[in-house]
Amino acid sequence: MELTTVWFVLIALLWTGYLVLEGFDFGVGMLLLPLSRDADKAVTQTDRRLMINTIGPVWDGNEVWLLVAGGATFAAFPEWYATLFSGFYLALLLILLALIVRGVAFEYRGKIDDPRWRARWDLAITVGSWVPALLWGVAFGNIVAGVPIDADHHFTGTLWTLLNPYALLAGLTTVTLFLLHGAVFLALKTDGPMRERAGRAAAGIAPVTLVVAAAFAVWTQLAHGKTWTWAAVVVAALGLVGTVAATRQRREGLAFLLTTVVIVAAVVLLFGSLFPDVMPSTTDPAFSLTTENASSTPYTLKVMTWVAVVLTPFVLAYQGWTYWVFRQRLTSTHVEGTTGLAPLARR
């Protein structure tokens, strides 16, 4: 296998890790406001702190996958990186701003013991989760479907070019899938009333996700897929059907495993449909960026491969250890008397 193909697969794996791990982070953030209300629709700060602390030890580590995926794309396929970031500049800037605001909100919401102060940062967490969840889907939809690229590999479209029906359906798919992934994660990581509330939310979101994701997967396969990517469509469909059943039975562990499988299958479908292109051109197929004409030199790819082989096991081991340490369920008793993430982390 050529190193260009190896690095295409490795970048797909990095995006898989990011979407699986950051996917439930986004889901928890999107559900922060609706699930932190009691039976009388009153806001409960304890529940909000509980939800945030389920992802508190891991959210920033999950974002490392995005940094590595971006860095790997820059180093392995600089032409792809340049065209992607210049053409999708505004959308990627919005994602970056949302992630920055979201990260600041996690750290600052508990600095002042004032309900209005916390409410503003909670809103920032919610918006900072919805925006990337939507725009990542829109971006991947456009990458797979293709965008106008000229002979010099310059993007010649506008922002409105990116807001086409297929890409918007892709964005809606990532939103619903991350909502489901996050609700299942909350049910898995909490106990008591929050576990019950998250379980009901997951059971309600699952059928909607099934319909939306099925429509997107079939459209992708028929318009851009290859014969072998039907396997990814079937796996995703079975995973979603299983998730609907698992959420109704409140089997959180199985449901989380199945939503993870669905996200993995979705990445396989997208990258499998894309290969050997990395960015198809709708202007002329001859102008498309491929794994060959967008890659770095063979020497660069060889050095990168050795670095990845040596360092990746350490990174995976450390992150796995983090999840193991913080594997226990949380209840309201873990956060009572605290005002944010930092006090619980210290305790």
Q: Which residues contact 177 (CB under 8 A, 6 or more apart)?
A: 23, 209, 213, 259, 262, 263, 266
Asked whether residue 270 is domain-assigned, the answer is yes
**Per-residue confidence (pLDDT) for residue 241, from 0 to 100:** 96
Confidence of residue 338 (pLDDT cuts 50, 70, 90): low
Contact call for residues 110 and 119 (beta carbons, < 8 A): no
Asked whether residue 347 is domain-assigned, the answer is no
Least confident of 50-54, 134-138, 140-144, 216-220: 50-54
pLDDT tens string 158-211: 888 899 999 999 999 999 999 999 999 999 999 888 899 999 999 999 999 999
Distance of alpha carbon 135 from alpha carbon 339, whole angstroms: 31
pLDDT tens string 233-253: 999 999 999 999 999 999 999
**Per-residue confidence (pLDDT) for residue 336, from 0 to 100:** 62
**Can you give the residue range of the structural domain that contains 124?**
3-335
pLDDT tens string 72-85: 999 999 999 999 98
Least confident of 53-57, 132-136, 137-141, 219-223: 53-57
Q: Is the pLDDT of residue 343 over 70?
A: no
Interior angle at CA 243, CA 138 and CA 26, nearest 5:
40
Structure tokens at 67: 């940094």
Q: Is the pLDDT of residue 347 over 70?
A: no
Domain count, the chain: 1
Asked whether residue 20 is domain-assigned, the answer is yes
Structure tokens at 37: 């209300």
Asked whether residue 158 is domain-assigned, the answer is yes
Instruction: Count CA within 13 A, CB hemisphere, residue 172.
Output: 17
Asked whether residue 340 is domain-assigned, the answer is no
pLDDT tens string 36-46: 876 555 567 78
Confidence of residue 261 (pLDDT cuts 50, 70, 90): very high
Asked whether residue 183 is domain-assigned, the answer is yes
- DSSP letters along 203-217, please? HHHHHHHHHHHHHHH
Q: Is the pLDDT of residue 346 over 50?
A: no
pLDDT tens string 114-146: 888 888 999 999 999 999 999 999 999 999 999
**Per-residue confidence (pLDDT) for residue 38, from 0 to 100:** 60
More confident residue, 87 or 174: 174
Asked whether residue 346 is domain-assigned, the answer is no
Per residue in 246-259, is it b (16+ CB within 10 Å) or e — as a string?
A: bbeebbbebbbbbb
The whole-number average pLDDT for the span 313-341 is 79
What does pLDDT average to over the chain? 90
Asked whether residue 342 is domain-assigned, the answer is no
Q: Is the pLDDT of residue 344 over 50?
A: no
